[in-house]
Structures are given as structure tokens and as C-alpha cells.
Structure 1
Amino acid sequence: MTDATVFGIDFTSAPRRGKPIVVAEGRRQGAVVRLQGLTALDSLDAFSAWLRRPGPWVAGLDLPFGLPRELVEHLGWPTGYAALMAHYAGLERAEIRERFAAFCDARPAGSKFAHRACDGPAGSSSSMKWVNPPVAWMLHAGVPRLIEAGVSLPGHLDGDPARVALEAYPGLLARELIGRRSYKSDTRAAQTPERLIARKDMVEALEQGRTQLGLRLKLSHAQRDELVADGSGDRLDAVLALVQAAWATTQPRYAWPEGVDPVEGWIVGLT
């Protein structure tokens, strides 16, 4: 498509006023992605309502859409995606934690968690991790709402073709832009000048299009200042997911490679 309405979503499984889900809205026109606004959603109900906004749009969400097949088969869970997600959504978090912990306890040190095929190349955490970061809860809170809202999950489930949701991972793009430098912290005391400089460098690189994705981010002065000033990095992460989603709109099948396991899924932006 020559141009597209795109969103990037920095997701949390327990949104609140002080730590909301952040939505970056933009428009891709050719190789330019213009940031049009940032919205905060302070509840999961607000997120569900947002998902029902009419299309056409493509959104990149910073949460895992799938689980490691090794884990799923070990637990005897359904291996069809829709059935698996329905089963997972029906479990209480305490039961999930118990089963995942038992799986980890039976494995040798250094390989406690099962991983998806995309985790290694993306440098992402296993989607079964329930702490640091609690991505298992993000999947548990987010994906059932995507399915309930009827959005299309390419590679996983068909839905409304005008509302498309993709798994994004801001950390993948962040590392391309500034290497392993830390740029965010939820702890105010750890929001250092060094991290502020890293955010400034990242925004500058995005505006100049210095990524393999070949897109340039267009910001106003106020937007640039807002992204740099946010020490939590939530607004910047939403924008990184926005750029990944925008890139996917330039690719066949939203850059979903042939042969990817739909139980596990894929992270947009892996090239």
C-alpha cells in the first residue's frame, strides 16, 4: 500500500493512570512516517474499546502473540492457535505461574525457559516469563482482547482485514539505533542524563531514517521534546512499534515469513 494509517502500542497488562497503555498514531506516506498523536489508555476496557475503532489501520503491539511450541506440547495444551489462546485465557494467572514454574524447575540451569524461534534473532524474552518482564501476563491480558475485538492477526487468525494487529518489539529497533545503551527506567531515580541522551540520539536517528527499515520519522518540535523527556520510555517505545508497523505495510503479507509456526508467531521488523 502506498500510504497507511498506523499505530504503535506500548502495552502493559495492568494499566493505570500512572502507567497507561500508550498508543502512538501515525500516517505512513511513502518512506515517511508522520506522528499524529499519542494517547494514554488507563484500563484494559479502554484498550478493548480502542481496538474496535473502524479501519483501515495496522497496529504494532509490544506484547507476544504466541507461546513456545515446546512448552505447549509439554503441557498438553491445544496446538491450534484459536483453541490455544482460548485455553490460555481461561486459566488463572496463579495456575499459569505454577505450571510454568514446574516446567522451569525440571530443566537445567541456563535453559529454564522455552523460547520461540523468533526470540533468538530478536533478542526478546521468552513469552512464558512471568517476571522481569511479565510478558506471559501481557499475552494473557492482550491477545484474548484482540481476538474478541475481531481484528486480523496475520499468520495466526483471520479477522477484519481493515483492522490488522502485528506483534512488534521496540527493543529490536532500539538496539539497531543505539546499540545496547539503556534509554529508559520506570524508577525516577534511575532516569539519568545518560538515558536522556540515549533517547535524544534515538529520536535523531529515527528522524534521519538510519535504520534497515528505510523509513524516516516526521515529528513536530513539541513531539520530539515529549519523546525525549519521557524517562519511562513508554512514549518512545510506542513510536518504535509504530515505525515497525509502518514498515510492515510496505511488505507482502505484512512481512510474515513462509513456514512460521502460528503457535509461536513472528516479530515484525526481523529482516
Structure 2
Amino acid sequence: MHDYSVFGVDFTSAPRRAKPIRVAGGRRHGAVMRLDGLEALDSLDAFSAWLARPGPWVAGLDLPFGLPRELVAHLGWPTDYAALMAHYAGLDRADIRARFAAFCDARPAGAKFAHRACDGPAGSSPSMKWVNPPVAWMLHAGVPRLISAGVHLAGHLAGDESRVALEAYPGLLARELIGRRSYKSDTKAAQTPERLIARKDIVDALEQGRTRLGLRLKLSHAQRDELVADASGDSLDAVLAMVQAGWAAQQPRYGWPEAVDPVEGWIVSAEPQRASA
């Protein structure tokens, strides 16, 4: 794919004006990833409309695209990806919560949730979690809209290959840059100077290209100030996802390992060899 746009999407399953879906858009030029701008989508319908924009583009979205195969097999759900997502979309949240809770209740403490193979290397939450963070609802709200929009879900489901959607996880890249330091909060009282400094350190590291992804982020002064000032971290998360997508766009198979279960999927830039660490 040549001369394409790159997007990063910080997704929420219940967007509203005060907490929209944040989209970072830019372009990759060699080792430089330039941020062109940020958008706010304050409804799921606005997200669907955004997905319909013509390609070519590659987007990294911060929401899970798959479920743990162990969970799917236990529940007797379809193991074909399209059929599985149609089944999942057809259930209401109360039903999903009841099924997932029953699964967890039957398991020992410390191993309540089923995990995908990418969770260990990425340090991500299990995609069946319905609270803190409610990623199961993000999958429920987001993936059916991706499928309906006909985008290409690389590794999962063929679609319009000029519009490619990849699962990103900003926390993976943020941890590489600042370790376990917290850099965001939606709670006013927790929007501390320490978290502001952490956001500034992430932005500095991205601009200097201090990541194993080999990309430098190009920002204007105003963009830099905006990313640091957004105490929720949503704008910065969208940019981190954009950088991950920019890296993946020029990798074989978008950076996925050789053998990935399409029911589960993969988080771009997670390193499979660290799965047992």
C-alpha cells in the first residue's frame, strides 16, 4: 500500500461529548510518523460513519478484536470468526455478563479469566473483562461495526483491503517508554502533576524515536501541548495507537506472528517470543 493515511483510535463503548472516541490521523514518511490532526467522535453512529471513509488507510484501534479460544470452546460458541462475532453481537450485555461471570466463578482464585495468547506479551487485559476496563463491551460495540463497514480485519476476516483495521494497545508502547508510571486519569482529583510529567516524557520519547518500532513522531508545538494537556490521556492513546499502526503498515502480515488463532487475534507490535516470560 502506497501513499496511505494512518489512524489511531482510542475507543470507548459508550461515547459521548464529554468522553468521545478519539482519532489521531497522520501519514508515515520513511521513519517519520507525522500527526495531521485529532478528531472526536461522540457517538457509535459517528464511528460507523468514520469507518466508511474511502481508503487507502490503516487504523490501529484500542479495542479487542477476538475472544480467548478457551472461553469460546467452554461456552460452545461458533469457532468461525464471522459466525462467532455475529453470535456475540446478538447477545445483550446482561447475558454476556452472566455467562462470563459463571465461567470465572467456576475457576480458582488468580486464574478467573481466560486469556488470549497475545495478552501476556502485550500486558493487556483479558478481552472477556466486563469491568476495569470493560473491554468485553468495547469488543461488543466496536467489532460488529467494523464488520458492517466492510473493512479488512487482518488475520480475522477479509474485507476492503484499502481500509485495514488492526488491534492496537497504547499501553504496550507507553510501558516501553515510561515503564509502569501512570500517565492518565478520567478522575479530576487524580490528574496530578506527576501524570502530566509522564505524558510529557512519552511525547518526548516519541518525538525522539526512542522505541523499538523505529519511528519518530513529528508534531507541531500546538499538537505537543494538546497531547500533554489532555489529562484523560485519550488523545495521547490515539497517537500511540497511530504509531503502532504506522509500524504495522510496513511489516509482513502487519507484524503478526506466523501462527495466530483467528478467533483470538493479535495486538500489533506485541512480541510473541516473550509470551512465556
| TM bucket normalised to smaller | over 0.9
* Residue 256 (structure 2) aligns with: 256
- Where 1:120 maps in the other structure, the secondary structure is helix
* Residue 274 (structure 2) aligns with: none
The CA distance in 1 between the partners of 2:5 and 2:175, in whole Å, is 25
Deviation readout 1:10-46 (Å, 9 max, x if unpaired): 0000000000000000000101000000000000000
The CA distance in 1 between the partners of 2:97 and 2:18, in whole Å, is 26
The CA distance in 1 between the partners of 2:165 and 2:178, in whole Å, is 27
Give the CA deviation at 1:270. 1.4
The CA distance in 2 between the partners of 1:111 and 1:141, in whole Å, is 26
* Residue 190 (structure 1) aligns with: 190
Q: Quick one: which amino acid aligns to residue 266 of structure 2? A: W
* Residue 118 (structure 2) aligns with: 118
Alignment of 1:21-36 (within 5 A): 21-36=21-36
Alignment of 1:50-89 (within 5 A): 50-89=50-89
* Residue 93 (structure 2) aligns with: 93
Contact 2:206–2:216 (CA<8 Å) still a contact in 1?
yes
Alignment of 1:1-271 (within 5 A): 1=1, 3-271=3-271
The CA distance in 1 between the partners of 2:195 and 2:118, in whole Å, is 28
TM-score, normalised to structure 1's length? 0.99
Per the alignment, do residues 18 and 10 of structure 1 end up closer, same or farther by CA in structure 2, a change over 3 Å counting? Answer: same
Deviation readout 1:66-104 (Å, 9 max, x if unpaired): 000000000000000000000000000000000000000
Contact 1:25–1:242 (CA<8 Å) still a contact in 2?
yes
- Where 1:33 maps in the other structure, the secondary structure is strand
TM-score, normalised to structure 2's length? 0.97
* Residue 275 (structure 2) aligns with: none
Q: Quick one: which amino acid aligns to residue 47 of structure 1? A: F
Give the CA deviation at 1:2. 6.0
Deviation readout 1:158-184 (Å, 9 max, x if unpaired): 000000000000000000000000000
Give the CA deviation at 1:4. 3.1
Identical residues among aligned pairs (%): 85
Contact 1:156–1:265 (CA<8 Å) still a contact in 2?
yes
- Where 2:4 maps in the other structure, the secondary structure is strand
Contact 1:123–1:172 (CA<8 Å) still a contact in 2?
yes
Give the CA deviation at 1:3. 4.9
Over 4 Å off, 4+ runs: none
Deviation readout 1:190-243 (Å, 9 max, x if unpaired): 000000000000000000000000000000000000000000000000000000
The CA distance in 2 between the partners of 1:161 and 1:10, in whole Å, is 22
Contact 2:62–2:167 (CA<8 Å) still a contact in 1?
yes
The CA distance in 2 between the partners of 1:239 and 1:226, in whole Å, is 11
The CA distance in 1 between the partners of 2:29 and 2:45, in whole Å, is 31
Q: Quick one: which amino acid aligns to residue 157 of structure 1? A: L
Give the CA deviation at 1:253. 1.4
Q: Quick one: which amino acid aligns to residue 152 of structure 1? A: H
The CA distance in 2 between the partners of 1:30 and 1:200, in whole Å, is 24
Contact 1:168–1:241 (CA<8 Å) still a contact in 2?
yes
Contact 2:4–2:55 (CA<8 Å) still a contact in 1?
no
The CA distance in 2 between the partners of 1:18 and 1:204, in whole Å, is 27
Q: Which runs of 5+ in 1 are unaligned?
A: none
The CA distance in 2 between the partners of 1:148 and 1:3, in whole Å, is 25
Indicate the RMSD between aligned Cα atoms, in angstroms.
0.7
The CA distance in 2 between the partners of 1:109 and 1:185, in whole Å, is 28
The CA distance in 2 between the partners of 1:269 and 1:207, in whole Å, is 18
